[in-house]
Structure 1
Amino acid sequence: MKDIVLGYDGSDFSMQALDWALDEAELRKLPLTVAHAWQWPYGDADEDAKAHLRKAAEHVLWHGAECARSSSSGVRVDTDLYEGPAAQRLVEISGGAELIVVGSRGLSALPRAVVGSVAGYVAAHADCPVIIVRGPGPLPAPTNPGPIVVAGKDPEAAVLEFAFGEAALRQLPIMSPADLTEPAARHPGVRVRPYDGTEHPTLVVVGRKRGATNSLLRHAPCPIAVVGTS
């Protein structure tokens, strides 16, 4: 069974991502793996110093897993602790994941950065769809959620399938400037209508190869799903 993987570092951004990842796990009836990576940043170090940092990393991971377990309704929560770059580990385990969820920035991101290096790297290289959680307030919004929006006028099949899957799980409409006739026929329970830009989306879905991806990651006011295409 595949799992939902959460990249977690204890930041406010990763707490937002935890909320979203747990929601995905509950909707999809899949286990959640909370993943945390650590590494000694100062060159050579004695084992005692590294052991102290590892202990701190274990505490961060424990906190994330406990938050998930205390907030879930029966989701199995596993953990993954890795010594090394976080982006590398998330890409490494993405082949066995249904979905990776990360915050838009982590603890190490510069204050003016909109998308952290981990989120950007994982979105560009993961073997599964990646949701980058950004936007104001707690996510996903519990009341009056907006539509799932498909970016681009000619989205690839994988992008459409993911978007329709999310819309079906969340019982939300899909909006897109593209013609969605064929995938809509395979998902008769999902309402489809043109996107006019007046509603705040719950999620924007985009293909990895589209030139608009980087712009969306910097400016979208809501979570973005990046889906790899052939």
Structure 2
Amino acid sequence: MTYPVTVGVDGSSAGLAAADWGAREAQLRDLPLRLVHAWEWQPYSHAPPEGPEYARRWSEGVPREIRARLHRRYPDLGITAERLIGPPPKVLCEAAKEAELLVVGTVGIGGLAGFLLGSVALATAAHTQRPLVLVRAPTAEEDEHPAAVSARPVVLGLDLGRPCDEVLRFAFDAAALRAAPLLVVRGGKPPAFYGAPGVGVDPSGETHIAADETETMRMVLQPWREKYPAVDVTEQAVIGHPAHHLLDVGTDADLVVIGRRTRSPRAVPPRIGPIAHAVLHHCPAPVAVVPHD
């Protein structure tokens, strides 16, 4: 069965950015595009404040208008649009069950503060069992001066403790589809005894630790290199908080890929981890969150 790329749209600038990203991704994957607008009357929705009936009519028009806009830009792409009733996180998670991946927008708030990961995006990221891509809305400056298209890398944040096939496959597929290089980043803390009293800090210690980590990464990635011989893979093992390094390299990335563990005895209700949380809030590039056991 062929599943579409599904995009949650709400009429916001972030939703429009997500719809455009989803359309390009559907073309890359040779898949149809499905637009889903979840409507639940709330006083703080994007709908105008004139009243429930006006909001209902506005809501009905959102997916149709975005479909028409995308059809003009991507005339050969099969696009469907639906308005579904219910809480947006629940509607989107249900829609994701029959999707290759789900795409949702986030809102830029400028400067070093990062991006506003709204309650819908956060709840969807914590609950969906399918890959989710968060796409931020462009700033006013980016709208006026769009960046030149270049062969930017796909970045994968690799957890060597749980190098899951689902996450690795998604990252390699994304790089292969884009004919882009794949940068695999592993960040970690040095051993607990490193720098302890009486032990000291060897200036070359971090270099040795990173070299050992790089060798482990190469062993983990070797089978995937063989499956994807056309993908140019670079390993980068660094000492420090993984989120910081992912944010550094994510500035110039086409896509950042991270995993989310779905089975955790302490995650009640389900939630995203601290690394995913930091990357989703601050990374300027689209971020793919791939759930795994």
Band the TM-score falls in, shorter-chain normalisation: 0.7 to 0.9
Q: Name stretches of at least 5 consecutive residues in structure 1 with no aligned partner.
A: 43-48
Alignment CA distance shift 1:16-1:142 (3 Å): farther
Distance in 1 (CA, whole Å) between partners of 2:37 and 2:115 is 21
State the match for 1:222 in structure 2: 285
User: SS at the partner of 1:194?
Assistant: strand
Matches of residues 1-230 of structure 1 in structure 2 within 5 Å? 1-41=2-42, 50-105=52-107, 114-134=116-136, 136=138, 137=142, 143-154=149-160, 155-177=163-185, 178-179=217-218, 180-195=221-236, 200-209=252-261, 211-230=274-293
Matched residues in 2 for 1:92 and 1:192: separation? 35
> TM-score when scaled to structure 2?
0.69
Q: 1:105 to 1:84 in 2, by over 3 A?
A: farther
Does the aligned pair in 2 maintain the 1:149–1:195 contact within 8 Å?
A: no
Which entry has the higher C-alpha Rg, 1 or 2? 2
Q: In 2, Cα distance between the equivalents of 1:87 and 1:105? A: 17
Tell me how far 1:40 sits from its aligned partner.
Answer: 2.2
Deviations 1:171-194 (A, max 9, x none): 101001343222111101111012
Q: Does the 8 A contact of 2:115 with 2:282 survive in 1?
A: no
Q: Find the aligned partners of 1:201 and 1:92 in 2 and give their Cα distance.
A: 30
Task: Please report the RMSD computed on the Cα atoms of aligned residues, expressed in angstroms.
Answer: 2.4
Q: How many angstroms does 1:142 deviate by? A: 5.7
Task: Give 1:145 shift.
Answer: 3.5
Change (3 A) 1:166 1:99: same
Judged with a 3 Å threshold, the aligned counterparts in structure 2 of structure 1 residues 135 and 37 are, in CA distance, closer, same or farther, namely closer
Q: What is the rounded CA distance, in whole Å, between the counterparts of 1:25 and 1:122 in structure 2? A: 20
Aligned residues: 219
Percent of residue pairs bearing the same amino acid type: 34
Residues 123-151 of structure 1: per-residue CA shift (max 9 Å, x gap): 2211210000127436x966114211111
Moved over 3 A (4+): 49-52, 135-138, 195-199
Alpha-carbon shift at residue 113 of structure 1 (Å): 6.0
* Cα distance change on mapping 1:204 and 1:102 into 2, 3 Å: same
TM-score w.r.t. length of structure 1 = 0.86
Q: Gapped runs of 5+ residues in structure 2?
A: 44-50, 186-216, 238-247, 262-272
Shift in alpha-carbon separation, 1:120–1:72, aligned structure 2, 3 A:
same
* Residues 81 and 142 of structure 1, relative CA distance in 2, 3 Å threshold: farther
User: C-alpha distance in 2, partners of 1:73/1:168?
Assistant: 24
Q: Given that residues 104 and 132 in structure 1 are in contact (C-alpha distance below 8 angstroms), is that contact kept between their aligned partners in structure 2?
A: yes
